Amino acid sequence: MVFLKVGMTHSYGNGRRIDDSKALAELNFEIGDYLDVAIL
CA 18 to chain centre: 11
The model carries a pTM of 0.44
Sequence-separated contacts (24+) of 29-37 with Cβ below 8 Å: 35/6
Give the total number of structural domains in the chain.
1
Q: Which domain holds residue 33?
A: 1-40
Q: What is the pLDDT along the chain (40 residues), one digit of tens a residue?
A: 777 777 777 777 666 677 777 788 888 888 888 887 777 7
For 7-29, give one letter per residue: b (16+ CB within 10 A) or e: eeeeeeeeeeeeeeeeeeeeeee
